[in-house]
A and B are shown apart, each in its own frame.
Chain A
């Protein structure tokens, strides 16, 4: 277990521990995508989330250490088109493996943090179907 993680922001698993994983509804206008143009953006402002301190605590206890607000700005662009499908995981889609710029910040009582602007190591956008839609 690492001893150097001091914050871990996620909205929790619902229901814990077997449910929907760290996924929350957002305003539809937060997302813009033009798959043909190979661009997309995600902009979140003052999104309420939890701080679990470290990922082990998040995955084993579901007990947050603080409530936080985060801002996220991601812009995807360019890349190589690819089709993926998996019968094992029952999904298929058309994706663009490209690049993304990324800024992220968090505020909670007693702590704030802002990233330096940077790029994602892995970035992908696409259109897919899974489960009952994957026919």
Chain B
């Protein structure tokens, strides 16, 4: 756990922000660089929440896009002073009133290949939550969720 503490307060805020999410980037702007045929697959599972909506955790991370926190915590790093999952201060769950299992996997920089064979960098923070939660209507439900 301690090996990640040096990321707290990392001066390159934007670099750290990007590294928390699924992004694919190249070393230069890539407008117009991608050429391939279009295709589309039907969704296998894309259920709406409807009345079973889980509620977001009340806390989170303040980013310079809005005056209130976004309701998530970075696994590591983040803006200066951010509470993180690795430190034990940030909740790994995105869902409030939750009782169950969680999983967090964070890749700060990996490599991959697009459909044209071009090598790209990527990063991702993916999590699961599986258990009981109090839905928007106030009743307790069970379910599984992914932070993707």
Contact = CB atoms under 8 A, between A and B. Distances in A.
Contacts of B101: 31, 33, 35, 40, 125-127
Interface string A54-70: 11101110000000011
Interface in A24-65: 24-28, 30-31, 33, 35, 40, 42, 44-49, 54-56, 58-60
A46 B43 contact: yes
A60 B65 CA distance: 6
Given A4-B27, A5-B23, A31 B122 contact: no
B34 A74 contact: no
Nearest to B24: A7
For chain A, what secondary structure do more than half of its interface residues adopt (helix, strand, loop), or is it mixed? strand
Given A24-B145, A82-B88, A2 B114 contact: no
Contacts of B44: 45-47
Interface residues of A, number: 89
Interface residues of B, number: 96
Interface string B117-142: 00010101010111110100000001
Nearest to B118: A113
A59 B63 contact: yes
Contacts of B143: 25, 28
Interface of B: 1, 4, 14-15, 17-18, 21-30, 34, 36-47, 49, 52-60, 63, 65-66, 68, 70-73, 75-76, 83, 85-86, 88-108, 110-115, 120, 122, 124, 126, 128-132, 134, 142-148
Interface of A: 1-11, 13-14, 17-28, 30-31, 33, 35, 40, 42, 44-49, 54-56, 58-60, 69-70, 72, 74, 76, 80, 82, 84-86, 88-91, 93, 95, 97, 100, 102, 104, 106-107, 109-116, 118-133
